[in-house]
Amino acid sequence: DAKTTQPPSMDCAEGRAANLPCNHSTISGNEYVYWYRQIHSQGPQYIIHGLKNNETNEMASLIITEDRKSSTLILPHATLRDTAVYYCIVRVVFINTGTASKLTFGTGTRLQVTL
């Protein structure tokens, strides 16, 4: 799986958009970009994933550059409850081959949302 690079920490004021960058310059054509977050010491929570098109769900938006070498997770209106470590993961997903979809976690970005 391709390696990702994220800033170790970021701050964001409550109510503002939080933009979390991720560099994955060695990504290959069959690798997806996934985002998870881990609040305090809980189990990681899935946020969103995409291949090459921008994606949006009720939690966040994912913007992937045209060359797919980087992406940005956007939390449109950050709240104190969004304070967490955010992991950007790039992985190959094999369909119908019996190969597990394994997640390779880096150290992530620690997002601190403040009043």
Partner 1 sequence: NAGVTQTPKFQVLKTGQSMTLQCAQDMNHEYMSWYRQDPGMGLRLIHYSVGAGITDQGEVPNGYNVSRSTTEDFPLRLLSAAPSQTSVYFCASSKPGTGANTEAFFGQGTRLTVV
Q: How far is the CB of 33 from partner 1 (least distance, A)?
A: 11
By the 8 A CB rule, do 45 and 59 touch? Answer: no
Instruction: Name residues whose C-beta falls within 8 Å of residue 3's C-beta, 6 or more positions apart in sequence.
Output: 24, 26, 90, 106
- State the DSSP string of 53-66: S-EE-SS-EEEE-T
Q: How far is the CB of 9 from partner 1 (least distance, A)?
A: 12
Q: How far is the CB of 18 from partner 1 (least distance, A)?
A: 20
The residue (of 40 and 81) whose beta carbon lies closer to partner 1 is 40
Residues 13-52 contacting partner 1, CB under 8 A: 32, 34, 36, 41-46, 49, 51
Length of the chain: 115
Interface residues toward partner 1, by CB under 8 A: 32, 34, 36, 41-46, 49, 51, 87, 93, 95-96, 98-108
